[in-house]
Structure 1
Amino acid sequence: MTASFTGSVFLGMSVDGFIARLDGDLSWLTGGAESGGPPDDGAGGDFGFSAFVSGIDALVMGRATYEVIAPMDEWPYQGKPVHVVSTTLEPSADARITVHRSFDDVVAALTAAGYRRVYVDGGRTVHTFLTAGLIGDLTLSRVPVLIGEGHTPFGALPADVALEHERTEVFPGGMVQTTYRVRPPA
């Protein structure tokens, strides 16, 4: 699929590679160090998330990810267009989002809008964009916890995806954040 944008990923995950428990629980990621969540970064910051979001033009996510974010007290994407891929969410469900029924529909909309860098979020959505060759970089923040089983965005792929290491940062408390550039297929 031809797209005018590059997809960028910014995910928190367990050391064993899961982004959520099988039941969707994220308490190990969001609940703070005392409940197995990420430790403080030492400066009361957000591990680079705000800087990342400031560098994107729009976001795309699946319905499950949207349902986790929608009830937050503060919408984390102020001023950024948010696109949600869902076959069940009503198009008028939330004025902050645009609903698309399929992957092809959302890619066409993102391309038509002329976006250059799009934040791709959520396990199935990341996997779909990665499989289609629409991801240009991945920032993976590994929280120092093993959860044993859960959801991963890195299931079966049609071919290996070669990555080039850009940087790694270790935060106080043990979170390791690594950014990779996706190498074009040979």
Structure 2
Amino acid sequence: MRKIILYIAQSLDGKIARLNGDVDWLERFPNPEDEDYGYASFYASVDVTLMGNRTYEKILSFGIDFPYADKENYVFTQQKGKQDTKFVKFIGDDLVSFVRVIKKEEGKNIWLVGGSEINTLLFNEGLIDEIYLFTMPVTLGEGIPLFTDQLAERQLHLAEVSSYSSGVILKKYRLLEE
């Protein structure tokens, strides 16, 4: 069975974006070694992305080519009438059942890109297998949290910790079976 991996960065105070969804703060660190923090290797290990509609809309606002064009991409939305695009399929109904089905399909791992509502939904349903959590050396004060307030209590296993000269810390967690 494929794994769903939440691969995401947060500020030291647990925010994944500013209140308006901006992630400009991710680019404000010195990175003298031009470290990719394992991104290329991780990206090669997945063939599907999952994300919420606000995350998708924010990616589109960057004014760049869609960054995951070589993957199957699913955007979860409650907006009716969204039309699939060349790179994205919109999923509006029974998200949990949909994720359970694609998790059982053949293929590489699945990247849960975010945001907080879909992170919480899949976490609470026990569908996230691993979390790669990059903590950036910055505080935002206000912002969008990693998870919403409705997060279920779950046990996790800290599998690995890595630190980088930029001050970034990666913690890899595996969720324990209940």
CA contact (8 A) 1:7 1:135 kept: yes
Q: 1: distance between equivalents of 2:108 and 2:122? A: 15
Equivalence for 1:18: 15
State the percentage of identical aligned residues. 25
2:28 to 32, 45, 69: 32
Render the CA deviation track for 1:27-71: whole Å, top value 9, x for unaligned. Answer: 212x322xxxxx31x432321122111111311101011112234
Q: CA deviation at 1:87?
A: 2.3
TM-score computed with the length of structure 1 as normaliser: 0.82
2:70 to 70, 79, 94: 79
Q: CA deviation at 1:101?
A: 0.6
2:98 to 106, 109, 127: 106
Q: 2: distance between equivalents of 1:137 and 1:166? A: 9
Q: 2: distance between equivalents of 1:134 and 1:117? A: 12
Q: 1: distance between equivalents of 2:20 and 2:80? A: 20
Q: Letter of the aligned partner of 1:85 in structure 2? A: F
Q: 2: distance between equivalents of 1:180 and 1:108? A: 21
Is 1:126–2:100 an aligned residue pair?
Answer: no
Aligned partner of residue 98 in structure 1, secondary structure: strand
Is 1:66–2:56 an aligned residue pair?
Answer: yes
State the number of aligned residues: 174
Q: CA deviation at 1:11?
A: 0.6
Q: 2: distance between equivalents of 1:115 and 1:91? A: 26
Q: 1: distance between equivalents of 2:46 and 2:175? A: 17
TM-score computed with the length of structure 2 as normaliser: 0.86
Gaps of 5+ in 2: none
Q: 1: distance between equivalents of 2:126 and 2:112? A: 12
1:44 to 34, 39, 50: 34
Aligned partner of residue 135 in structure 1, secondary structure: coil
Q: Letter of the aligned partner of 2:13 in structure 1? A: D
Q: CA deviation at 1:161?
A: 1.5
Gaps of 5+ in 1: 34-38
Is 1:183–2:176 an aligned residue pair?
Answer: yes
CA RMSD of aligned residues (A): 2.1
Q: Letter of the aligned partner of 1:8 in structure 2? A: I
Q: CA deviation at 1:106?
A: 3.3
CA contact (8 A) 2:13 2:140 kept: yes
CA contact (8 A) 1:83 1:106 kept: no
